[in-house]
Amino acid sequence: MYQIEELSEEVKNCRRCTLWRTRKNPVLGSGDSRADIMFIGEAPGRNEDMEGKPFVGEAGKILDQLLTSIDLKREKVYITNILKCRPPGNRNPSRDEIEACTPFLDRQIESVNPWIIVTLGNFATRYILEKFNLKAESIGRIHGRIFNLKAKNLKIVPMYHPASALYNPRIKGVMIDDFRVIGELIESI
């Protein structure tokens, strides 16, 4: 098995879609490349594009608070996104971009080999559930639910995207409750 760090060079040189033209830095991922838990967001935003690291802006602050709420340290988890480059103006990822970029994510999942994948928001949730042949529904219906893939020794837990808590304080309460689910899963190891 290759090391996840090897992907970094490939992502830097990637021109599989047009986002390389407008990005400042690609954002591969951060954290423990042998983590038990992997968080998957949507795409880098302005701050992430500038720093080359995932979730370092306002949504990242919310994610940090949620991790702290269940005593998880950022260095102990692995954090990445569906897209490795910022879509201009933070628009939604296009279908072509997702198709071009997710082979990187697939290799990250294979390399990290987590036993819990937490998908943040609709884009990550749809991609991951469909990848594992599960029916994707909107995040409003399935947030906080545990999808147990026993044969793969993997649990998938969809969550709202932390950015939605920036605009809607009610969602933050829901996310805190949903994060307890992850806390309980970890304790059940």
Other C-beta atoms closer than 10 Å to the C-beta of 68 total 12
Q: What is the closest distance, in whole angstroms, from the C-beta atom of residue 150 to ligand URA in the complex?
A: 29
Q: By the criterion CB under 6 A, which residues form the site for ligand URA?
A: 41-45, 48, 54-55, 57, 59, 81, 163
Comparing CB distances to ligand URA, the nearer of 31 and 54 is 54
We find the least distance from the C-beta atom of residue 121 to ligand URA, in angstroms, to be 7
Quick one: 25 or 149, whose CB is closer to ligand URA? 25
Q: Which is nearer to ligand URA, 42 or 97 (CB)?
A: 42
Report the nearest approach of ligand URA to the CB of residue 96 (Å): 18
- Written in H, E and C, the secondary structure of the chain is CCCCCHHHHHHHCCCCCHHHHCCCCCCCCEECCCCCEEEEECCCCHHHHHHCCCCCCHHHHHHHHHHHHCCCCHHHCEEEECCCCCCHHHCCCCHHHHHHHHHHHHHHHHHHCCCEEEEECHHHHHHHHHHCCCCCCCHHHHCCCCEEEHHHCEEEEEECCHHHHHHCHHHHHHHHHHHHHHHHHHHCC
In angstroms, give the least distance from the CB of 120 to ligand URA: 6
Nearer residue to ligand URA within complex by CB, 81 or 125? 81
Question: Looking at beta carbons only, is 120 or 154 nearer to ligand URA?
Answer: 120
What is the smallest separation between the CB atom of 39 and ligand URA, expressed in angstroms?
9
Q: Which residue number has the CB closest to ligand URA?
A: 41
